[in-house]
Chain A
């Protein structure tokens, strides 16, 4: 059976590439620290030596729009183009071509259906920055095939936090049951507190630094009970109108299981708090400690 070798959950910041590659005299003061933290985080994936990446993100009205809006969707294609014109324009993110793993996509789709998650699917999926940002940060060589999974964190009504966690658990079972000797890493990105297009956007910190600190502690401790007791769609909206990206962190905790994280880092940036977490499955984490 396939082996899950690492679960990564992080924020995605579309300006990372531009912020850390522009001439040093034009960079924001945190750019060198940001780069160091991202490169250290990248190492947490590299040391797990994955063969394939299951990537969880959320389309930002690039391929998906309100005329046809799935809650959960899986890509099933041999290859995926990535980066839309308006993302190149706004964020300076280049175009990419990602290799798919259609056999694993098919297996996961059926397995998730059998577990009660009736996924939509796409045979021609163009990926946006929710999946390209982590390629840039944790696998810039773009040398591994991917199974992309999109969630709706954007167009209400959204599935519940519990549903996101349960989906994470189901994705984990699908990976564990995949008849293959592949080493699988699961990588998902979302947000902590975030405001876009509202009165609290682009402040010196994220809109709710207290939530950000609390959320990182919950994730560090694998405390899904505290998350589900405290985090609702309403509470996330109070923390910032785009805070629902936190749902993808909840999903990734579902993939990892309710365990303490093996790697936790964060960075206070203008506008948002960045968070970088990695879990290794129990036996591996124990081996690493030995």
Chain B
């Protein structure tokens, strides 16, 4: 498991309009591309060889499964802002302001009153 690498994915996609669009429209292919050529990049010259996704992490990212990502301890801020970036507008049109954010909370209700999975990496 690489919580760090999942966070790196969320971090890089959230801050890049091109990545965000590709991840919103075709998540499975974008996750594959990211793993092959984007995630390993440290800078224009250097590459990292030390991180990779588990099958579970890859599946959660491919399915935009923010509940699974929360449960793996992905950072709450990245997990929220990235999926707001993908879903907020569409939910707002259909169900008004904060509809996506409230559904996000609703789907995590089974964690209320419990200690959440740690986001420490």
A: residues with CB less than 8 A from B are: 60-62, 65-67, 84-86, 89-90, 154-157, 196-203, 237, 241-242, 270
Question: Which residues from A are CB-within-8-Å of B88?
Answer: 90
A156 CB to nearest B CB, Å: 4
Q: How far is the CA of A167 from the CA of B121 in the complex (A)?
A: 25
Pair A197/B70 contact, Cβ less than 8 Å: yes
Residue in A155, A197, A203, A237 with the greatest tally of chain B CB atoms within 10 Å: A197
User: How many contacting A-B pairs (Cβ < 8 A)?
Assistant: 81
* Cβ contact within 8 Å between A62 and B80: no
Q: Beyond A199-B108, A201-B105, is A241–B15 a contact (Cβ under 8 Å)?
A: no
A65–B75 alpha-carbon span in the complex (Å): 11
Tell me whether A198 and B105 are in contact in the complex, defined as CB-CB below 8 angstroms, given that A66-B4, A156-B120 are known contacts.
Answer: yes
Contact with A along B72-115 (1 / 0, CB 8 A): 00011111110011001000000000100110111011111001
29 A-B pairs, CB-CB below 8 angstroms? A60-B77, A61-B11, A61-B75, A61-B78, A65-B8, A66-B7, A66-B8, A66-B11, A85-B15, A85-B16, A86-B14, A90-B81, A90-B88, A154-B77, A155-B121, A196-B77, A197-B66, A197-B70, A197-B76, A197-B77, A198-B76, A198-B111, A199-B110, A201-B104, A202-B101, A202-B102, A237-B116, A241-B116, A242-B77
In angstroms, Cα B121 to Cα A196, docked, is 18
Q: How would you classify the secondary structure of chain B's contact residues: helix, strand, loop or mixed?
A: helix
> Which of A84, A196, A270 contacts B76 (CB under 8 A)?
A196
Q: Which B residues touch A84, using CB under 8 A?
A: 15
Give chain A residues whose Cβ lies under 8 Å from the Cβ of B4. 66
Closest Cβ of chain A to B13, distance in Å, is: 10
Which residues in B have their C-beta under 8 angstroms from that of A200?
Answer: 105, 112
- The complex places the Cα of A84 from the Cα of B119 at a distance, in Å, of 23
Q: How far is the CA of A61 from the CA of B11 in the complex (A)?
A: 7
Task: State A196–B15 Cα separation when bound (angstroms).
Answer: 18
Task: Compute how far the CA of A197 lies from the CA of B17 in the bound complex, rounded to whole angstroms.
Answer: 21
- Considering the complex, give the chain B residue whose CB is closest to the CB of A270: B98
B108 touches A86 (CB 8 A): no
